[in-house]
Amino acid sequence: MKALILVGGYGTRLRPLTLSKPKPLIEFCNKPMILHQIEALVEANVNHIILAVSYRAEMLEKALKAEEERLKIRISISFEEEPLGTAGPLALARHLLLEDNEPFFVLNSDIICDFPFQEMILFHKMHGKEGTIAVNKVNEPSKYGVVVYDNRGQIKEFIEKPQEYISNRINSGLYIFNTSILNRIQLKPTSIEKEVFPEMAKDGQLYAFELKGFWMDVGQPKDFLMGMSLYLEFLRDTQPLSLHQGPGIYGNVLIDPTAKIGPNCRIGPNVSIGPNVVIEEGVCIKRCTILRDSSVKSHSWLDNCLIGWKCCIGRWVRMENTCVLGEDVIVKDELYLNSVKVLPNKSINASVPEPNVIL
Amino acid sequence: MIKAVILIGGPQKGTRFRPLSFDTPKHLFPVGGRPMVQHLIEACAKVDGLKEIFLLGYYQVDNSLNSFIRNMMAEYNVNIRYLQEYTTLGTCGGIYHFRDQICRHNPEAFFLINGDVCGDFNLPAMLNFHRSIPKSEEGAMTVMVTEATRQQSLNYGCVVEEKETHKILHFVEKPSTFVSTIINCGVYLCPLNIFNQVAAVIKAKQESNTSETGDERYADDYSDLNISKTNDDLPEILSLEEDILTRLAGTDHLYAFHTNQWWCQVKTSASAIYANRNYLKLYKENQSQFLSAKSQDGPEIIGDVWIDSKADVDPTATIGPNVTIGPGVRVGAGVRIKESIILKDAMIGDHSLILHSIIGYNTVIGCWTRIEGTPSDPNPDKAFAKMENQTLFNKDGKLNPSITVLGSNVQVPSGLLVLNSIVLPHKELGRSYRNEIIL
């Protein structure tokens, strides 16, 4: 079985992290984002994964080569000369998708959930129509594609970013299609949500599969941290031993075994700490991701931060409200950063008390 | 014999020093670990032949004042008495009211000091200068002066002098246009017959009161110690600056004594941090035994730090520069304190950071809190720049970033931030605050 993952462009919403690494390789809970999807697809017997990307990234290709060998699957990269939107890449990869007549998965690359792909396949085969969209319930549906369907799951309406409330079920960004969908899509920039789904719905060819577990689009920092919290809770239910326990650890905390945590720290809830990270004495960290090779010096306090690779945070630093540090950022002692995005290789020498971007 | 009078005002004054002045009269507020007025008493005690110091104000006498006076008498071996005004009589009305006390035993002269000035005062040198003035029959008064920037001079009493003789030719309080960069430090040396001058002024005022009502000269009154407009029809309410110095300037009876040493007025609480730092610096020069040094089992000390012997500071804390920690204070593990004053019995939880702040009596701060203010120090690039006693709010009605002040008995739970804010006593904070006054 095949799957196509819509990776797309530069991942600007996750800058400054994506200035150092292609988005699919950014570690979400200590595993590259794309691997969460790829490994779940492999579990569901997918053996050929096509990545639709619109920019060349040697780093990505190299990493995927390694995964290809490790997972013993085929990974193709379908490169777009110009961005083709969310449907165009299917036309571009047409020759790969038509290698057999099996249905295939299509995934938005920013999605984190428990990926119930096997149940999706069963559901898709059961209704026998052209497409299945995973849907989930959210509180604020207006920024998503909203789906209205009947009790058998047949989709009646698909409206992208509606102005007024229609339903609280939204498109989760995980699909299964029969190859016949390719007849609806031409090789040009096309939106699958705006141009293809409404037509399929009209034809009665689109069904909704309800996700039961957590779901998050982690394409921007705030949602990344939210998604992290949900994923750690998911780990608590499914693999509790992967979470860290001990004195000073509160709630769900994931710590790579190579990371070092000093005495008298207060870590958690909802913290993910990457390989070789060093947390010195008396540090308090809540709701943060700290990527590999970074260090946090004594007595600092971090809440709601995304710390990039090789960063060094000084002593008595306070950072909060979705600060994002790019790779190799140094924050000097005793500073306060409030909702600040710092681009890679910067050294911060003065407090930034108001939301700002440090170039 | 010499005497001294220190004007300490009353509870209605020093409002810009709130909320700290709610708990302690401003002049008893500790800078450099000791009450502001103690530094003035100490400066007076260094004058040979100075036998008696009067503290003059309209605070009700209470235990703290009485015990303070007792302690000061014991420490400096000088007689100290509190003279309580029946109402606020202004910077000159009070001394006139108590002139019999001051003149008793016929002292040669008396120092008159505004209680809200801080500095490195060399009063013996001032006395020598005073004695060198060619004496006219009436005797002359000496005013301590210092240099300010052109712009800042407008906030002070401005002095124009004759260069060679230091005779004061002109004096004007807080002019609206530039007059002189030489400003009045609020420290005077007065002959006893100053009271004759005052009597003449009172007589003149009584005469003018019968012919006109209201006097606009007092409308623009910003000084804590000057008299207020509501009372100014009482002839015995007198401002030394406006009623006496202005008149004496240009006669042969007023002279300027220059100081180049550190000097500042403490009006706002931010200036207390500045004064604290400068007093600590003075200790380093003259009384280094007051400063804390790194000891085997003590905290890390950076720069000038005063830690009271009855304070308990964790050895893993890092303190300084320019920090004063009062008696009974407890400072937890891994705490960092810089440019701040921690008052008696306050508690600072582990890993907290305190920058440019004053922490009130009995205030309790949790772990991993950040208490931070913005210093408003004199511009270091400008010669003679003074501390700006800036207003609380700017023109747009926003709070000017300044030091953070936590009043007494405030509680700050763990993990919070208090930035550029003023917290009144007995508040329990429920969230972080930035640029706010918390009532």
pLDDT at residue B223 in the model: 45
Domains of chain A: 2-217 (3.90.550.10), 221-357 (2.160.10.10)
Shortest CA gap A135–chain B (Å): 38
Question: Is 90 exceeded by the pLDDT of residue A58?
Answer: no
Chain A / chain B CB contacts < 8 angstroms = 48
Q: Which residues of chain A does B350 touch, with a Cβ-Cβ cutoff of 8 Å?
A: 264, 282
pLDDT, one tens digit per residue, over A246-283 is: 999 999 999 999 999 999 999 989 999 999 999 999 99
pLDDT at residue A48 in the model: 94
When pLDDT is averaged across residues B161-169 and rounded to a whole number, the result is 92
Question: Is 60 exceeded by the pLDDT of residue B257?
Answer: yes
pLDDT at residue B233 in the model: 61
Shortest CA gap B179–chain A (Å): 39
Of B355, B367, B434, the CB nearest to A334: B355
pLDDT at residue B138 in the model: 66
Name the residue in chain B with its Cα closest to that of A303.
Answer: B415
Question: Is 80 exceeded by the pLDDT of residue A202?
Answer: yes
pLDDT at residue B220 in the model: 44
pLDDT at residue B175 in the model: 92
Average pLDDT of chain A is 92
Shortest CA gap A16–chain B (Å): 26
Q: Any CB–CB contact under 8 A between B350 and chain A?
A: yes
SS3 of A340, please? Answer: strand
From CA A146, how far away is CA B192, in angstroms rounded? 91
Q: Any CB–CB contact under 8 A between B302 and chain A?
A: no
Model confidence at B221, pLDDT cuts 50, 70, 90, reads: very low
- Report the b/e string of B172-205 with b at 16+ CB within 10 A: bbbeeeebbbbbbbbbbbbbbbbbebbeebbeeb
Q: Any CB–CB contact under 8 A between A250 and chain B?
A: no
Name the residue in chain A with its Cα closest to that of B417.
Answer: A318
Domain chopping of chain B, boundaries: 2-265, 293-438
pLDDT at residue B16 in the model: 78
Question: Is 80 exceeded by the pLDDT of residue B36?
Answer: yes
pLDDT at residue A309 in the model: 96
pLDDT at residue B296 in the model: 81
What does the CA dihedral A316, B389, B64, B81 come to, rounded to 10 degrees? 150
pLDDT, one tens digit per residue, over B396-414 is: 777 788 899 999 999 999 9
For domain B2-265, which CATH number applies: 1.20.58.340, 3.90.1300.10, 3.90.550.10, 3.40.50.2000?
3.90.550.10
| Residues of A that are catalytic | 161
Nearest Cα residue to B159 out of B258, B274, B26, B14: B258
Contact A302, B338 (CB under 8 A): no
Name the residue in chain B with its Cα closest to that of A320.
Answer: B417
Query: Which residues make Cβ contacts (< 8 Å) with residue A169, sequence separation at least 6?
Result: A135, A136, A137, A141, A146, A147, A148, A149, A208, A210
Domain spanning B293-438, CATH class: mainly beta
**Residue A125 host element (H or E):** helix A117-127
Q: Which residues of chain A does B419 touch, with a Cβ-Cβ cutoff of 8 Å?
A: 336, 353
pLDDT, one tens digit per residue, over B84-125 is: 988 888 888 889 999 999 999 999 999 999 998 999 999 999
pLDDT at residue A102 in the model: 92
Model confidence at A230, pLDDT cuts 50, 70, 90, reads: very high
Question: Is 50 exceeded by the pLDDT of residue A297?
Answer: yes
From CA B35, how far away is CA B15, in angstroms rounded? 18
Question: Is 80 exceeded by the pLDDT of residue B79?
Answer: yes
Q: Any CB–CB contact under 8 A between A353 and chain B?
A: yes
Query: Which residues make Cβ contacts (< 8 Å) with residue B351, sequence separation at least 6?
Result: A264, A282, A283, A284, A298, A299, A301, A316, B332, B333, B334, B335, B367, B368
